[in-house]
A = this chain, B = another copy of it.
Amino acid sequence: MHHAKPLPRFLVQRYKGWKATQFEENKSWYSRLADEGQRPRTMIISCCDSRVHVTSIFGADSGEFFIHRNIANLVPPFEVSKTIHGTSAAIEYAVTALKVSNLVVLGHSKCGGVQGCYEMCTGEAPQLQEASSFVGRWMDILKPGFERIEKNEGDKQAKLTALEHESILVSLENLMTFPFVKEAVESGQLSLHGLWHEIGSGSLECYDADKKEFTRV
């Protein structure tokens, strides 16, 4: 038996609005995308956070972006095991099957996952240290980032922002531990990009690998 309820009315209504307008306007294109398959140029790894509107920010047309969203836009390091790795599977599919040209790691301000990692590491959130905490174990990926910023000057807010930046940098580092990513980057098939988006101000910063800092786009 499945615990499944009818779709709430507000979602039904919005869907019908979309169907009558946007779908109607684009239906021949959607039909072609269905028949011929997707050919996205770019993969985006972003946070699940409801305030991050990946498709709006980049004015996306259907078919353009292959999007994986998880807590804090993290990529775990490469590891072959029998364990299931949803993020690694998404990256493998995008790079080896779809052969995307750009892979963007998109972090953001006020990230609840990053804050959880910070508080776990400083002892403020002991529940996240428990073996049974999925969020805690997921945020372990970011621990190497915490170690790099914990001695930073500044208050907690400044350190949280630094750790948000680290969520992007750790992911960029871990991406290069995947043999198929490394090969695609080195052969020029794939470019990696690191972005941090400030929700309140709408600004966007891009990681500059030469200057080793994030700079305003």
Contact = CB atoms under 8 A, between A and B. Distances in A.
Interface in A46-92: 48-51, 53, 55-71, 74, 76, 80-92
Contact of A69 (B22, B39, B68, B85): B68
A113 B7 CA distance: 25
A140 B82 CA distance: 10
Looking at chain A's contact residues, the main secondary structure is mixed
A29 B59 CA distance: 19
A169 interface: yes
A33 B18 contact: no
Interface residues of A, number: 128
Nearest to A94: B48
Given A15-B217, A28-B189, 16 more contacts: A3-B192, A4-B207, A8-B25, A8-B191, A10-B59, A11-B42, A17-B21, A19-B204, A20-B20, A20-B21, A28-B188, A31-B189, A38-B51, A40-B50, A85-B134, A97-B112
